[in-house]
A and B are shown apart, each in its own frame.
Chain A
Amino acid sequence: MSFLHPLALLGLAAAAIPALLHLLQRRVPPELDFPPVRYLSAAERESARRLKLRHLLLLVLRTALIVVIVLAAARPLIPLRGGGAHQPTAVVIILDNSPSAGAVVSGGSVLDRLRVAARSSVARATSGDRVWLMLCDGVLRAGTREALLAIIDSTHAGWQRLDLVDAVGGAARTVDAQPLPGREVHVLSDLQRTALASGHADVPRGVHILALEPGSTVTNRGIASVTVSEGAAVIELSGSTAAGGDLPQPVPVTIRIGGGARRDRGEIAARGLATPGGGGGGSTRSAVTVSLPVQSLAPGWWLGEAALEPDELRADDRRPFAWRVAPAAGVTATPGAGAFVAAALAVLQEGRRVIEGRDVVISGGEAAPPTAPHAILQPPADPALVGQANRALATRGVPWHWGQVGTPGNIAVPQLPALDGTPVARRYRLQGASDEVLATVNDEPWLVRSGNVVLLGSRLDTAWTALPTAPGFVPFIDALVNRIVVGEAAVNSAEGAPRVEFRTRGTDTVGATVFGPDPRESDLTPATPALVTAALGGRDRVEVLSANALSAERFAGTRRADASAILLVLALLLAAIELAVATRTR
């Protein structure tokens, strides 16, 4: 219970007035002669018990009357489950318009259902509340009620995934920082299980998390990723199966290749059938490899799109992809480059991945020809030559140099998964100030690029590293000479509306980013209430509610009704009883 005018409670001290008056009056009553005192004494003896009870009752009634009147003056606000005004509340409404919200369930869009709840939350807010709206981009939007309603009405399913744990944690911290009596976070989401997998939200005490319960699980299948390598496209599918639904069936996948930077290539179509696989817990995963037509092996950047048959969630039914077929680089290895490098280049020449030429020079510690456009430099085998090699680097303007001998470790190279974890027994520390670090050993640079020069911390020799004997060594040399040294990056993927964006350097295209929905959005399996409760703050702070229950509980933590009218009625009742008891003579 709280009070609108708490200072009025000081008047509770007045509750002592009846008792004080009683004591004071008893102290100095007027004295009068009255001969028949014997009759009085007899009457009082007969009425003593009744009078004591009456006095006690009057004292209680009068004290209660004062207390009730003072409480009424303080305007008490009592908690109310339904209706009534609520105290000023800071509330963040998380409207999850991530791609999965675009799913159609039972003939209606999930987002439409969430929007209705969001509108209701905003509509119930009063001028004393502070309301923010958070969409799948994680940005808190403040504004007037009308502005927020307009945002809600214009919201469509986005392309960004919303991590509910992070979103709720941030929202909880925001409302907790507000000096308002009420603090709530309304989570209006389809509550995908995958959206709650990142741990537990840190929700401060006093923040109330109200989550709209999810709808039913629907079967969905989406394209998680498309990777092109060696003339084939590997298409990974992810999705979910409705509880009690039919077993997953093979899924036809269509890819279309064409367009891109060279529109004159036309369009090539290919088809495959993805065999379903189990992901566990209602989710499904599967993959299909589709061979690319020979026309798509010509050098250059290629664009494609993989597509599925339409289902409940359209956002993940198609995903673009891009790849580059590079022209064979002209490579020369100096004698010091080592036998393993020479052998690898020979293999690549046979496969027409490289040709004889001086576009790229791989050296083994000796100074590379300054005329070479691109150079891949290994440290010299003789430590005495390191200084000379470093001076050559400085002459060439490379800000890196080989330093002290480093500790053995494993290679960490995210761009080349085949080499990740390969042991390195001997290495020099690469020391420099800037530029790209492509691989590390023990968190220290091992493979770096500066302009058109690539430096290795170890020689490509089995005395230095196990890399030459690894299966991925030849592809590594291929990537090194055809892609890494010329500055081309791998094709990256990012969240967003399905599209491909190329990165350029000058007139050259050096990379591409493929945008599409997060693959986890395809898994429409909702989290269980227990998981929601655990992930979003714990049982004492989280409630997963139906739409009706949410409507009732919204702002319920601070919903109050002014009880002064009830107290005044009670005061009148007490006064009437007091009057009756006081005037009753028997």
Chain B
Amino acid sequence: MAQRLDLLDPAEVARLGGIEIVAEGVVEGFLAGVHRSPFRGFSVEFTEHRAYQAGDELRYLDWRILGRSDRLFVKQFEEETNLRAMILLDASRSMAWQGTPERLTKRAYADRLAAALALILLRQRDATGLVTFDERVRQVIPARVKAGQWTRIVRGLLETPDGQGTAAHAALQRLTALLARRGMVVLVSDLLFDRELALVALRYLRHRGHQVIVFHLMDPAEVRLSGPPEVRFRDPESSVSVVVRPRELARAYADTVQREIAAWRKACRRHGISYHHVQTDMPFGLALRLLT
């Protein structure tokens, strides 16, 4: 029995191929496991009539015209969505970090998660776009539903290099101007920036009527401190460093991390923002299922 890729270890799945292959495999598995659309608000819109041709489904016959003019016309619909999803992906330097070589970097995990999410949305004919940013906005792929949009999104992910520092609040404020129409905003980030300033931008999006979803990515090594007996840890973004003994600071650090997660969760809930904490060893399918 073939295993579902969405439930495998992300690092193992990533070894199967590029982002497209991984995302498609994950989405296939994910969609096979769900019984209804994970997202609501989809519909189709009537566009025109055409003459009935043999083979057309009878259910699309316009019975009203048939009764009035006794001519067979079938209704044609243009699929449309009322959802515009924009995936905001943090491409800062801190995202290019992995606790161990066996795991994906946060950025690699985020890329694959974003690609899979975009594929799901696009398959549901939702206009989906992508914005990558670090201290500034790097890539903007407007939300579209047309064919090839996913490829553009994947290319956008691939073409976005690892950035430097994260001035997320500035980038997010700039993004608010790009997201004029209401929709869904999915932020995928390690949230290693000033929480209050970031929340200002997120609150603004929420005020504009956006549905905001936050994926807080963390490497397991960022949750449980470990390392040599004594080590100088350096922030790759700010170059700030601190000498610690991981073993003796582990508990205090874990408490601090849990408090930070709890603070993010509480702040997001207060403002109607969906918050999801995801570790990079979590199977993609489980991460996606957080949205259902």
Contact = CB atoms under 8 A, between A and B. Distances in A.
Interface string B204-235: 00000000000000100010010111111111
B192 A38 contact: yes
Contact of A46 (B233, B242, B252): B252
Interface in A1-39: 25-26, 29-39
A42 B227 contact: no
Interface stretch (B13-21, B64-72, B254-262): B254-262
A20 to B, nearest CB: 15
B147 interface: no
A148 B244 CA distance: 72
A42 B256 contact: yes
B237 interface: yes
Given A44-B252, A47-B252, A585-B247, A38 B235 contact: yes
B252 A37 contact: no
B243 A35 contact: no
Nearest to B99: A34
B243 A36 contact: no
Contacts of B244: 40, 44
B248 A43 contact: no
Contacts of A54: 248
A27 to B, nearest CB: 10
B234 A29 contact: no
A41 B242 CA distance: 7
A586 interface: yes
B232 A30 contact: yes
The secondary-structure label for the interface of chain B is: mixed
Contacts of A33: 97, 233-236
A585 B248 CA distance: 5
A44 B249 CA distance: 7
B251 A29 contact: no
Contacts of A36: 190, 192, 218, 222, 257
A34 B235 contact: yes
B94 interface: yes
Interface residues of B, number: 35
A585 B218 CA distance: 23
Nearest to B235: A37
A33 B192 CA distance: 14
A37 B241 contact: yes
B240 interface: yes
A40 B250 contact: no
Contacts of A51: 248-249
B52 interface: no
Given A41-B242, A42-B256, A43-B253, A32 B248 contact: no
A35 B232 contact: no
Contacts of B253: 39-40, 43
Interface in B247-283: 247-253, 255-257, 260
A30 B244 CA distance: 11
B96 to A, nearest CB: 9
A37 B253 CA distance: 10
Given A34-B233, A35-B97, A44 B242 contact: yes
Interface string A365-401: 0000000000000000000000000000000000000
A578 B279 CA distance: 36
A579 to B, nearest CB: 13
Contact of B222 (A25, A35, A43): A35
A28 to B, nearest CB: 9
B251 A32 contact: no
B237 A35 contact: yes
B236 to A, nearest CB: 5
A35 B250 contact: no
Nearest to A584: B248
Nearest to A54: B248
B233 A37 contact: yes
Instruction: Indicate the member of B97, B192, B244 with the most A CB atoms within 10 Å.
Output: B244
Contacts of B237: 35
Given A25-B229, A35-B94, A40 B236 contact: no
B230 A29 contact: yes
Nearest to B225: A40
B234 A40 contact: no
Nearest to B236: A33
Contact of A586 (B230, B234, B252, B257): B252
B194 to A, nearest CB: 10
B134 to A, nearest CB: 13
B231 A585 contact: no
A40 B255 CA distance: 10
Given A36-B257, A37-B235, A29 B252 contact: no
Given A29-B230, A33-B236, A35-B190, A40 B97 contact: no
A41 B233 CA distance: 10
Contacts of B94: 35
Contact of A30 (B192, B228, B249): B228
A217 to B, nearest CB: 77
Contacts of A32: 227-228, 231-234
B233 A43 contact: no
B248 A30 contact: no
Given A30-B228, A40-B242, A35 B235 contact: yes
A381 B229 CA distance: 119
Given A46-B252, A47-B249, A35 B242 contact: no
Contact of A31 (B232, B250, B256): B232
A31 B248 contact: no
Instruction: Indicate the member of B237, B240, B253 with the most A CB atoms within 10 Å.
Output: B253
A471 to B, nearest CB: 109
Contacts of B240: 37, 41
B234 A34 contact: yes
Contacts of B252: 43-44, 46-47, 586
A38 B240 CA distance: 9
A432 B153 CA distance: 145
Contact of A43 (B229, B232, B249): B249
A35 B251 CA distance: 18
A26 B249 contact: no
A264 B23 CA distance: 151
Contacts of B256: 39-40, 42-43, 46
Nearest to A51: B248
A41 B228 CA distance: 17
Given A26-B243, A42-B256, A43-B256, A31 B249 contact: no
B260 A39 contact: yes
8 contacts: A33-B235, A36-B190, A37-B233, A39-B222, A39-B257, A39-B260, A43-B253, A54-B248
Given A33-B235, A36-B192, A585-B251, 7 more contacts: A25-B229, A33-B233, A34-B233, A38-B235, A39-B253, A44-B252, A586-B251
Closest 3 CB pairs of A and B: A35-B94, A34-B233, A37-B235
Interface of B: 94, 97, 190, 192, 218, 222, 225, 227-238, 240-244, 247-253, 255-257, 260
